[in-house]
Structure 1
Amino acid sequence: MNTDTKQPAWLPMAAYLAVCIIWGSTYLAISFAVKTLPPLLMVGLRFTVAGSLLLGWCLLRGERLPGAKTLIQSAITGFLLLFIGNGGVSWAEVNLASGLAAIIVAALPLWMVLFDKTHWQESFSSAKVIFGLLLGFAGVVFLVTVGGDAIHFSLRNTAQLSAFLVLIVATMSWAAGSIYSKRNPVPGSTFIKVSLQMLSAGLGLLLASVLVGDWSRISWHNVSNSSWTGLVYLIIFGSLVGYLSYIYVLSVWPAARVGTYAYVNPVVAVFLGAFIGSEPMSLWHFVGLAIILTGVMLVNSKQFGKGRISPTLAARKT
């Protein structure tokens, strides 16, 4: 993206706010979309369409498809980040409120530290990082135990417990995919690689939806307007506008400053879920979120102090 030409002074802030609001709102959009669309089918359509649009735009600009190595790496990254990561979030939101899902996903950087073996010595020699990890995970446990009744969640509810466990696996997969992508750089433009990640994950999810019988069970005329609206919003805003805004603001602002969007997203998700989705919102949501984000801030304190962004914060791209 060319940033040499003079840009309006308000544009970077507008792009940053777009990332904060759009990516925070995707949790609610997912909850609307999976009301009457099977989750695997829904997220498969989302990434297949978004990936096709982005790839077509890249090819129209004269970019060329990369070699086999980039294709394979993009497919693996797409599987970890989008197939398991976003697919898991979408599946979990059938039984979990969108605001609660966003708060649990906010613990993503904690998993990153646990999986980033190359930095274990540095991370686990820091009392601040260790305390941040313990505090952040304690926030998740606190939220789903002490705060359970207030947030309409129960570990005794089999469907909710399964959704919670799938959401944890999805978050872990995001962390693993982030590390894999960072440790295995390959040639090719960012937009091409992301489009291939979306397409590989989207097609894989559509195949998975066939295997679990979604296509045979779905009644298309019973799909609600709110589900279609949620899907279209996820394609256009969540996967395209939000990502392009992120890439732009990252090119003109310090990475650590851009990375603060990850602290805003769950707050946006909770408020939108309450005021638009009629989801529960209580003090316990914000106590749990405050504990988790305090842990995340402690874990990421070194990266922010050096003006860098945690690879995990950069992983939430679509």
Structure 2
Amino acid sequence: MSRYRNVALFLALAAIWGSAFVAISAGLEYFPPVLFAALRYDVAGAVMLAYAIYVGDRWRPRGRDEWGVVAVGAGLLIAAYHAFLFVGQQHTTAAAAAILVSLSPVLTTGFARALLPSDALSVVGVVGVAIGLVGVAVIARPDPSNLFAADAVGAFLVFCAAASFALGSVLTRRIDSALPIETMEAWSMIGGALVMHAISLALGEPVDPSAWLHPEALGALGYLAIVASAVGFLLYFDLLEHLGAVEINMVSYVAPVFTAIVGWLYLGEVVDAATVLGFVLIAAGFALVKRRALRDELAAFGRSTSSG
């Protein structure tokens, strides 16, 4: 029963996070990008903080290390990731953005090994990272005569989002902190929202609340803030307790399937052959980088199946 429960929650999380890219594309018709991301985490941060207060006795960070991990989370996992993603997704399809973001687990391994020279990537691992980057290039398809075309720049910004998230993931794990994950996420969301509001002001993004009252705009914001952020992270925390890190990372490779389906149904976006090829290359790169962990997971699954 537990296995079926985990599978159901895994698919639910992939569907929620996959369809979130479609909600971003829909909402960008009404909100300026960085302000849209900031408003999302104004709401999500408040909800997550209320949850952290409800479930734990440590709802506020203490000391330099705990505030340090919050600062990294706010700056990289929330602000940089979402600012790059929302700006970049103005010029890419939702499916392409989801696939580019799925490079994060590969980049996370690369950053982890770069920051720990004694634990360097093997030759096969380096090849895996390279294949993943080739997948990004296939999706972006930069024109050498016009490298600053909107679609190429958009894909590059989404790649920067994936890199920001990967680096933030590594740095937060390197900081020795006993802060509960719910508390860290809540304060990171609040801090990240404040940083993005500052970026939005610096960019001079227009503030037109009348445009935000459109039902589609409110629906996109509500879905991203409540469903994709608050509910999505609660599902993630639950699965994190029952599944290994490798299995959690696989959400990144199932989510684009839901993105493509919902994007086609709701936005009429069509996934072209180059995007599919890029996805295959990124997934292959992940398989090479995580080949030992994947082999161990498959062996453990085989043992549990045979014993059941």
TM-score > 0.5, shorter chain as reference: yes
Structure 2: how far apart are the matches of 1:163 and 1:127? Answer: 31
Within 5 A, what are the aligned runs for 1:232-311? 232-307=222-297
Aligned length: 293
Structure 2: how far apart are the matches of 1:306 and 1:118? Answer: 25
Q: What is the RMSD of the two structures over their aligned residues, measured on CA atoms?
A: 2.4
Tell me the secondary structure at the aligned position of residue 94 of structure 1: helix
Structure 1: give runs of 5+ residues left out of the alignment.
Answer: 1-6, 149-153, 309-318
Identity of aligned residues (%): 24
Equivalent residue letter for 1:130: V
Q: Deviations over 1:254-278 (max 9, x none)?
A: 4433332121012221222222211
Q: Match for residue 170 of structure 2?
A: 179
Equivalent residue letter for 1:258: I
Structure 2: give runs of 5+ residues left out of the alignment.
Answer: 299-308
Structure 2: how far apart are the matches of 1:63 and 1:284? Answer: 49
Aligned: 1:98 with 2:94: yes
Q: Match for residue 10 of structure 2?
A: 16
CA contact (8 A) 2:141 2:152 kept: no
Q: Deviations over 1:21-59 (max 9, x none)?
A: 111111111111111101111111111211111112222
Aligned: 1:28 with 2:22: yes
Comparing 193-202 and 27-36, the one that deviates more: 27-36
Residue 113 of structure 1, aligned match among 100, 109, 114: 109
Equivalent residue letter for 1:273: G
1:10 to partner: Cα distance = 4.4
Q: Match for residue 313 of structure 1?
A: none
Equivalent residue letter for 1:251: E
Structure 2: how far apart are the matches of 1:41 and 1:271? Answer: 27
Structure 1: how far apart are the matches of 2:250 and 2:21? Answer: 18
Q: Match for residue 71 of structure 2?
A: 75
Aligned: 1:52 with 2:62: no
Higher fraction of helix: 2
CA contact (8 A) 1:86 1:170 kept: yes
1:61 to partner: Cα distance = 4.1
Equivalent residue letter for 1:275: L
1:18 to partner: Cα distance = 1.3
Q: Deviations over 1:216-242 (max 9, x none)?
A: x23222233212211100111111111
Structure 1: how far apart are the matches of 2:245 and 2:251? Answer: 11
CA contact (8 A) 2:140 2:156 kept: no
Distance 1:9 1:267, change over 3 A: closer
Aligned: 1:202 with 2:196: no
Aligned: 1:66 with 2:52: no
Q: Match for residue 141 of structure 2?
A: 145
1:9 to partner: Cα distance = 6.5
Query: TM-score, normalised on structure 1?
Result: 0.84
CA contact (8 A) 1:12 1:252 kept: yes
Q: Match for residue 183 of structure 2?
A: 192
Q: Deviations over 1:142-179 (max 9, x none)?
A: 22229x9xxxxx95663323322222222211111011
Comparing 35-44 and 66-75, the one that deviates more: 66-75
CA contact (8 A) 1:255 1:307 kept: no
Structure 2: how far apart are the matches of 1:101 and 1:75? Answer: 26
Q: Match for residue 305 of structure 2?
A: none
